[in-house]
Amino acid sequence: MELFFHIAYFTKNIPIVNKLQKILLHTYIINKIDTSKENFLFYNNLDVVSIIRDSIRSTFTKLIYLCADYSELDERVLSNAEIADKIIVCLPTMQKLVESKFPNKTFLWPVPTSNEYSSIKSISSHQISTLLSQIPKPRVVYAGFKTNRVDENIYKSVANKMPEVSFVSFGSKNLTKYKNIYEAPWLEKHEMHSFLSECQAGFMPYDLSIPHNLHCIPLKLFDFLAEGLPVVSSKLINIQDFNSLIYFSETVEEYTFCLQKALHEDANSELRKERKKRAQQHQTTNLTHKLDELLATLVN
């Protein structure tokens, strides 16, 4: 049996080229597989699925749709889910939503993360050293772009209440500063882990008025946990089982209180060790048993 992972994106179908799209895509797929063996297709939002439905159904033994993020059950999701033998989801709330339409087809997969945090963060750079020299401790970090993700009112209000703390996010071309709020250039993964190892707390005040944010399980959460960092977060629906490891908040006052508490955590506490263990559980090398479990449901 061979597993064929194919994640593709195509523009919306143009009627005049539909036939050509079908021929090209089907030819591409056929050339990538050994048709004498069983083949499983893992796909993620094939926008031309309606065009190649019959072809891939007859070519592959099983079809597995990867539906990792939260989404409404719109036409795109439904067309991909309808032909699948199994639908992999990473969010419990998405599992409930999909199962309401497609009973007994979903498979809940833990959010996978990087394998080698320790070796990654050991690689530093001049850029990291320069950034750290310009951003004083204590450093509270949102390891990503804030646009359309963070509640800016909460972020700025909390920063205003804690002027002695440096609040750091990423996305600018060069390091910018406004009072104690810093926006740094985006870092490569190994550089980000090196940077996080020099921070004192993770900060995730998501804008919960956006459904995608409310339901997400941020990958940056596992980056924080891998460093043992205390994390102060909004009450995201799908991370409630992390409540023993992170601080949940709703109001500016709660965020401020929890960050102050987080910044005074013992650097050698058992809680930090527990966070690291939880992050390790989501490393891809520790999730191979889940793949075996999935394949068993498809073969049997």
CATH of the domain at 45: 3.40.50.2000
Q: What is the pLDDT of residue 1?
A: 47
Query: Comparing 237-241, 254-258, 265-269, which segment has the lowest mean pLDDT?
Result: 265-269
Domain that holds residue 92: 2-112+284-299
- Tens of pLDDT, residues 72-108: 898 888 988 998 999 999 999 999 999 999 999 999 9
The reply to whether 105 and 216 lie within a common domain is: no
Q: What is the pLDDT of residue 47?
A: 66
Model confidence pTM above 0.95: no
Average pLDDT over every residue of 147-163: 98
What lies within 8 Å, CB to CB, of 200 at 6+ separation is 137, 138, 139, 140, 229, 262, 263
Give the integer Cα–Cα distance in Å for 33 and 25.
Answer: 13
The reply to whether 54 and 154 lie within a common domain is: no
The reply to whether 263 and 289 lie within a common domain is: no
Phi, psi of 89 (to 5 degrees): -125, 150
Query: Comparing 5-14, 51-60, 232-241, which segment has the lowest mean pLDDT?
Result: 5-14
- Higher-confidence residue of 52 and 216: namely 216
The reply to whether 105 and 135 lie within a common domain is: no
Count of the separate structural domains present in the chain: 2
> Containing H/E element for 203?
strand 201-204
Average pLDDT over every residue of 57-73: 88
Helix, strand, or coil (residue 260): helix
* Helix 49-59 with 18-32: angle, nearest 10 deg: 30
Q: What is the DSSP letter of 103?
A: T
The reply to whether 288 and 276 lie within a common domain is: no
Question: How far, rounded to the nearest angstrom, does the alpha carbon of residue 240 sit from its chain's CA centroid?
Answer: 16
- Tens of pLDDT, residues 176-214: 999 999 999 999 888 999 999 999 999 999 999 999 999
* Residue 147 predicted with pLDDT over 70: yes
Give the number of residues written for the chain. 300
* Helix 189-196 with 126-134: angle, nearest 10 deg: 40
Q: Which tokens hold the place of 99?
A: 């199962």
Q: What is the pLDDT of residue 243?
A: 95
* Residue 11 predicted with pLDDT over 60: no
Q: What is the DSSP letter of 111?
A: P
The reply to whether 84 and 198 lie within a common domain is: no
The reply to whether 48 and 135 lie within a common domain is: no
The reply to whether 28 and 104 lie within a common domain is: yes
The reply to whether 257 and 288 lie within a common domain is: no
Helix, strand, or coil (residue 268): coil
The reply to whether 145 and 104 lie within a common domain is: no
The reply to whether 84 and 121 lie within a common domain is: no
The reply to whether 186 and 237 lie within a common domain is: yes
Question: How far, rounded to the nearest angstrom, does the alpha carbon of residue 79 sit from its chain's CA centroid?
Answer: 23
Q: Which tokens hold the place of 47?
A: 């926008």
Q: Which tokens hold the place of 93?
A: 């709330």
Task: Report the mean per-residue pLDDT for the chain.
Answer: 87
Q: What is the pLDDT of residue 146?
A: 97
Cβ count near 286 (within 10 Å): 14
Give the integer Cα–Cα distance in Å for 251 and 269.
Answer: 27
What lies within 8 Å, CB to CB, of 83 at 6+ separation is 49, 53, 56, 57, 63, 65
Please choose, from the candidates 278, 188, 166, 283, the residue with its C-alpha nearest in 3D space to the C-alpha of residue 228. Answer: 278
Could you write out the DSSP letters of every residue in 213-236?
A: HHH---HHHHHHHHTT--EEEE--
Q: What is the pLDDT of residue 230?
A: 98
